[in-house]
Amino acid sequence: MEQKLLDAITALYDEMVDLRRHFHMYPELSFKEVNTPKTIAAYHRDLGLEVREGVGTRGVVATLRGKYPGKTVAIRADFDALPITEENDVPYASTVDGVMHACGHDAHTAIALGMAKAFVSVKDDLHGNVVFIHQHAEEEDPGGAKAMIEDGALEGVDIIFATHMENYLPVHHVSHSPDYILAASDDFFITIKGEGGHGAFPQDATDAVQIGAQLVANLHQLVSRKVDPLKSAVLTVGAFKAGEKANVIPGQATIEGTVRTFDDDVRAALADWVKKVAEHTAAMYGAEVEVDYQFGYPATKNDPDVNALIVKAATALLPEGHVKAMAPNMGAEDFSYFTRQIPGAYFFTGSANEAKGFTYPYHHPKFDIDEQALLNGAKVMAKATLDYLTEAH
C-alpha cells in the first residue's frame, strides 16, 4: 500500500503544480479569504470526502475515512497570503495588486490536496482516518488556528503534521526538531507623553525623543541582564516615531517592538520587565507612558515521537545526509496552538534551488520555490501518516 500511495503522489505532481500556481495567481489576505476556501472545499468534495466549511470563520476541514477503524492523523495547511507586491516575472505571478503568496502557503495547500487525492486511492486498504485542516489567517495575529480548534477542527484527531517551504534549505532536504522549533511572538507598543517645546530651551520641555532614546537603550539591556543566559530570547525595537522638525522638541513619541521566547516563564517575565522599564524610564524624566503589550502566538514545540515519524519517513525517501536536526528558529507560527492540544510535528521542506534562482527568503517580493518540494513534502507526510496508522491498528 505504501508504494501505491507514493506512486499516486508522483503521478499527481503536475496537478499539484497547477494547483499551487492557481492559488499563487489568486492570493487572498488573512481574514479576507473567500474564494480560496471555496476552491479547497470543492476539490475535497469532488474526492468524496466529508467537508466542513467556515470552521473558525474561514477554515476548511475535510475528512477521509479508511475502510477499517483506526487512529486519526491531521495534516494542516495554511492558505492566506501577504500584503506584498510580487516582483517575479512568471506566468503564474499574482493577479492581485499588492497581494502575494510570499511564504509558500500556496504550496502547502497544493501538498495537502495532492495528499488527499492520493489517499483516496488507498482508502479501501486503510486503517484509520486522515483529516485535512486548511487554515486561514496564519500570517496575522490572532490567526486562524485557535478559532478552528475552538470550532472542533481537532475533534477525534490523535496526531498532527505540518510542513513549511524553506528557501534557506536546498530542495530535497528536510530539517526538523524533536523539541522547540519556533518561538513565541509578542509585540509591544509604547507611547511616551512628555511636553513639547523649542529646541533652544530644553529646560522648558519634557523631551519625548530623549526619553525614548534612553528607553530603547534600556529595553535592549533586558535580555542580557534579566534572562538566564542558558535560555533564549530576543527583544527588538523595530519602530521609533517622534518629531517633525529639527528645532522643535516633540512632546510625544511611540516605540514598537517584538519579543521572541521559548520558555513560558521567560515570556511572562519579559512582558513584566518591558512595562516596568518603560514606566520607570519615563518617570525618571517626568513623563507619562502607556504600554500596550500584546501576547501573540506561543512557541511551537514538537512531540519527539511524532517528529521521529517525520525523520523516519524523510530518511527513507530523501538522499543520504539530507535530513538534519535544526536549532530552534526565532520565527513564529500559530501551528503552536495545535501542538498544545495534541502531539504534533512541524518541519521544514527545502525549496531552494540556486541554479534556478529560487533563493529569495519568504516574505520577499521575489520569493518563489523549486516545485519539486511539493513532491518531497507530500511524500514525507504521507509516509509518516501511513506509518503511524499502520503501526497503531
pLDDT in tens, 35-92: 999 999 999 999 999 999 999 999 999 999 999 999 999 999 999 999 999 999 999 9
> Which residue has cell 480560496?
36
Question: Is the CB of residue 389 less than 8 Å from the CB of residue 127?
Answer: yes
Checking DSSP bridges between strand 197-198 and strand 248-249, what pairing results, if any? antiparallel
> How much is the pLDDT for 272?
98
- 238 and 304 fall within a common domain: no
Chain centroid to Cα 294, Å, comes to 18
Where does the pLDDT of residue 23 fall: very low under 50, low under 70, confident under 90, or very high at 90 and above?
very high
What is the band of 269 on the pLDDT scale with cuts at 50, 70, 90?
Answer: very high
Q: In this structure, are 229 and 267 located in the same domain?
A: yes
Distance CA 120, CA 392 (A): 20
Place of cell 501511513: 386
Task: Examine the domain organization and report whether 382 and 285 are in the same domain.
Answer: no
Backbone angles phi, psi at 27, to 5 degrees: -75, 155
Residues 155 and 104 in one domain: yes
- Among the options 78, 86, 106, 138, which is catalytic? 138
Reported as type and span, the H/E element at residue 27 is: none
Q: Are residues 173 and 32 in the same domain?
A: yes
Domain hosting residue 83, numbered range: 2-182+300-392
pLDDT at 364: 98
Asked whether residue 332 falls in the same domain as residue 368, the answer is yes
Q: Give the model's pLDDT for residue 318.
A: 98
Query: 131 and 35 in one domain?
Result: yes
Give pLDDT, residue 392: 87
Sign of the Cα torsion 373, 375, 376, 377 reads positive
- Residue 80 a catalytic site member: yes
Q: What percent of the chain has pLDDT over 90?
A: 99
391 has pLDDT over 90: yes
In whole angstroms, how large is the CA radius of gyration of the chain?
24
The residue ranges of DSSP E strands in 136-215, in sequence order, are 159-170, 174-176, 180-182, 184-193, 197-198
Among 338, 372, 386, CA closest to 110: 372
Q: What is the mean pLDDT of residues 159-167?
A: 98
Residues 205, 222 within the same domain: yes
Residues 128 and 76 in one domain: yes
**Nearest Cα to 33, choosing from 61, 54, 62?**
54
CA dihedral 38, 43, 49, 54 (to 10 degrees): -10
The three three-digit cell numbers of residue 106, written as one number? 500556496
Question: At what angle are helices 372-392 and 2-11 packed, to 10 degrees?
Answer: 160
CATH of the domain at 321: 3.40.630.10
- The residue whose grid cell reads 530651551 is 201
Q: Is 332 exposed, middle or buried (0-12, 13-18, 19+ CB in 10 A)?
A: buried
Residues 252 and 136 reside in one and the same domain: no
* pTM for the whole structure: 0.95
Average pLDDT over residues 272-290: 98
138 among known catalytic residues:
yes
Identify whether residues 235 and 313 lie together within a single domain: no
Please check the confidence at residue 393 and state whether its pLDDT lies above 90.
no
- State the pLDDT at residue 152: 98
- CATH number, domain containing residue 253: 3.30.70.360
Bond preceding residue 142 cis, omega within 30 of 0: yes
The predicted pLDDT at position 51 comes to: 98
Claim to verify: residue 30 and residue 74 sit in the same structural domain? yes
Q: Which amino acids are annotated as binding site for Mn(2+), given as ranges?
A: 103, 105, 139, 164, 363
CA trace torsion 267, 273, 279, 280 (10° rounding)? -170
Cα–Cα distance, 193 to 191 (Å, whole number): 6
Structural domain count of the chain: 2
> From the candidates 80, 166, 368, 387, which is the catalytic residue?
80
